[in-house]
A and B are shown apart, each in its own frame.
Chain A
């Protein structure tokens, strides 16, 4: 079977731009949830978010791209540049038809869309941007990456709410198996504008606690919802043969297992997260005892935390595996979240360290989780399981392993 290795990682996270800055901050437990600055939150009950600071799109992208892109597309394009640079891929290294682009989306370029809706309804149709036809839609990031890097292989966009960041990487691996050499994959997301914010509030999932240190507390007895954030990860995933054609290419790790399941609406049915994890392990041909850390979905919603804890306990036993949720530092990044978790798992393997879960002080004892709290744990990490869930019933699991 064709193997899939990660050779480039582009990260834009509230606590760091680029894999080095992100990893340093994440190992140190640097939380980046703060009062919202991107719009005036005075009239909204939720007032904190994980914003990516210091991102100046104009420093990275040509001026002509700015009027035609939403913030999330700019993050995506810059993240992709970084991932390709990290992987040492030069134009023409790989035939353009052998490169796939598979991204995840949740709500598209929402801020761009709000601006154009406002123009349409307040000023009139003639004021709407010619770029509205594509700048906001879900497919935009894949299209823009393809154009920017001249890739002419397969393109796709998967939308499965917050599980999509994992699904996109799973689908990228599928493309490698179908014959492409390299895939640009993952998700970067942003929906920090008033019109998106009203929708986030309506989800019933945001915490009503506006203290950045007390708002998003997965597995804690004070869990009260999550905090929304922006950012994510775009990765270069390729076959080992393709990586070997560029001598000196660093291989961070390998994607060895993936599965997705869905929760029935019938309460009598067991939630599908455990099944996703088991199927991903089976896909990897691995036993649970070989997993050194679980990157949890960590919803921060009591019943979902409980379900996840039961799934983890069901596979690994009580306190059977270290569990962590670095997203407690950034908030949940929607289409970007699952991808950033996979990137974090890969970095854990590469740097032999498990990043901590922050702010959680009182984990629910009945969950019987070995939660990595406050301090990173250093030591060999050979394999990690990444879990993700999306509102509506989506479950995804991915197994990553050191490359041998």
Chain B
């Protein structure tokens, strides 16, 4: 009997609210949480908006030591991780720690802390030879993002396989795919997985400015991210974390756990095309979708909802629309498609996991969150993008996709598990 990986706990830190409930409220109401950046003075930059999380580490129960030690992204992961652990109902200290793993996605790691410390050590970039006497004790933890997996592993008491998976903007999907592989191959029974990102600092904003990937609709930040709309003009950054407790199916059943769904299929593809560009035909994303569906033993016609990458750039919209059609054929036109980045922005390595959690909640609530800000559909994007208002629908199979710098294309099939309690 082959081993299957199911989701039994979720936790979220997102723009618009901390916790899974607040997150679902935002998504289901189709509200947006993008705004003018408040974390720092963004006035010198081309794009000055982001989906910011109103996150108070003290209120979220982090200790003074944790607050000092941890980058904001690591703080998100710990808070979301604690929610996911509690939600799963697993008594982690009763498990064999060697059978617990961690797989955490992040695209840019602790960049925010690194930039802050760079400014001090180099005296605002004046010196190439950064002054060693200003190094903070945790600088090395910021240097390598594996420190965040360490922190999450400590939080859950893991002694099994632990790592960060960092594949740019598909990290949040790929980390969960990696976790599912650990469970299916038998290396762990429980893997705490997901993604975290707190990239809102000048260097990250400038990265997207200089390649003109981000929106300049600074006068209307709440509607700036407009996937599949002909007035779209780029992505809006975001931040947040979603942590997922992934568990072997029989392990979950034995304790009568509530099961949100199964990671039934996952595949990633390199597009071998361009570090930041996408080929409009969407062949590699389509390949990833086909393999994920095959692994899930699902037909294209089983897919009841597609959670799109929907970053708000024209090249992405055309790319994934083509990929959906290539893989699902005529069924693509009948399948609701929506993009959460319209509401919470693009949190790089976290967003894939946030999208997984939102998709699982769509199972729970029989409701498909909409694509916000979609008033004037781009005629070249001719699928059903669920504009503006959530739609009631009973969905048993979700396809969620991601696309990232480096040419990464990922697809995951989530399935409802029959007899899953609650």
Residues of A within 8 A of B (CB): 39-40, 43-45, 68, 96-97, 101, 105-108, 110, 114, 116-125, 128-134, 137-140, 142-144, 146-147, 149-161, 164, 167, 171, 174, 177-178, 191, 194-204, 259-265, 269, 272, 275, 390-394
Question: By the criterion CB–CB under 8 Å, are B128 and A202 in contact?
Answer: no
Q: What are the residues of chain B within 8 A of A121 when measuring CB–CB?
A: 118-119, 122, 124-125
A403 to B237, CA, bound (A): 50
Q: Distance (Å) between the CB of B343 and the closest chain A CB?
A: 24
A146 near B210: Cβ-Cβ < 8 Å = no
Instruction: Indicate the member of A123, A132, A143 with the most B CB atoms within 10 Å.
Output: A143
Give B contacts to A, CB under 8 Å: 44-46, 97-98, 101-102, 107-109, 115, 118-119, 121-122, 124-126, 128-132, 135-147, 149-150, 153-154, 157-168, 171, 174, 178, 181, 185, 187, 202-203, 206-211, 213, 267-276, 284, 287, 404-408
Candidates B102, B126, B162, B269; contact of A152 at CB < 8 Å: B269
In the complex, number of A-B residue pairs with CB atoms less than 8 Å apart:
267
Residue among A124, A129, A159, A195 making CB contact with B144, cutoff 8 Å: A159
A106, A107, A140, A263: the one within 8 Å of B406 (CB) = A140
Q: Which chain A residues lie closer than 8 Å to B168 at the CB level?
A: 134, 137, 139, 143
A201–B149 CB distance below 8 A = no
In the complex with contacts A152-B269, A152-B284, A106-B144 CB distance below 8 A: yes
Bound state CA distance, A231 and B160, in angstroms? 28
The reply to whether A132 and B407 form a contact with Cβ atoms under 8 Å apart is no
| Minimum distance in angstroms from A127 CB to a CB of chain B | 9
Given contacts A117-B125, A122-B125, contact A394 B407 (CB under 8 A): no
Check if B166 sits within 8 Å of A159, measured CB to CB.
yes
Contact yes or no, B203 A117, CB < 8 A: yes
Q: A132-B206, A134-B275 are in contact. Are A105 and B166 (CB under 8 A)?
A: yes
Q: Which residues of B contact A200 (CB under 8 A)?
A: 140, 143
Of all A-B residue pairs in the complex, the 4 with the closest CB atoms, nearest first, are A143-B406, A121-B125, A122-B125, A392-B150
- Smallest CB–CB gap between A234 and chain B, Å? 15
Chain B residue with Cβ nearest A265: B154
Closest to B209 in A: A125
Main secondary structure of the interface of A (DSSP, over half): mixed
The answer to whether B139 touches A259, judged by C-beta atoms less than 8 angstroms apart, is no
Select the residue from B115, B154, B162, B203 with max chain A CB neighbours within 10 A: B162
Contact status A260-B163, CB under 8 Å = yes
**Neighbouring A residues of B269 by C-beta, 8 Å:** 97, 152-155
Separation of A130 and B101 alpha carbons in the complex (Å): 37
Q: Is the CB of B142 within 8 A of A199?
A: yes
Quick check: B207 and A146 within 8 Å, CB to CB?
A: no
Given contacts A43-B131, A262-B159, contact A120 B125 (CB under 8 A): yes
- Compute how far the CA of A143 lies from the CA of B271 in the bound complex, rounded to whole angstroms: 9
Please state if A132 and B203 are interface contacts (CB–CB under 8 Å): yes
Inter-subunit contact B159/A155 (CB<8 Å): no
Q: How far is the CB of B115 from chain A (nearest CB, A)?
A: 6
Beyond A101-B270, A157-B165, whether A68 also contacts B181 by CB under 8 A is no
Q: Check B162–A147 contact: CB distance below 8 A.
A: no
| Cα(A360)–Cα(B97), bound, Å | 36
Complex alpha-carbon distance, A364 and B327, angstroms: 62
Q: A122-B126, A147-B407 are in contact. List 7 more A-B contacts (CB 8 A).
A: A108-B109, A116-B203, A117-B122, A118-B125, A139-B168, A157-B167, A202-B139
Q: Could you list 28 A-B pairs, sorted by A, with CB under 8 Å? A: A114-B130, A118-B125, A125-B44, A128-B206, A131-B275, A132-B203, A132-B206, A133-B208, A139-B107, A139-B166, A139-B171, A139-B404, A143-B270, A143-B407, A146-B272, A153-B270, A155-B268, A155-B269, A159-B144, A159-B164, A159-B165, A160-B146, A199-B142, A202-B137, A202-B139, A262-B161, A275-B159, A392-B141
* Closest B residue by C-beta to A141: B406
Q: With A39-B129, A134-B275 given, is the CB distance from A164 to B163 under 8 Å?
A: yes
CA distance A201 to B166 in the complex (A): 25
| Complex partner residue of B161 from A105, A137, A261, CB under 8 angstroms | A261
**A118 contact set on B, CB distance < 8 A:** 122, 125, 128
Instruction: Please tell me if the beta carbons of A198 and B121 are within 8 angstroms of each other in the complex.
Output: yes
Note all chain B residues with C-beta closer than 8 A to A394: 146, 150, 162-163
Q: Which of A139, A154, A199 contacts B143 (CB 8 A)?
A: A199
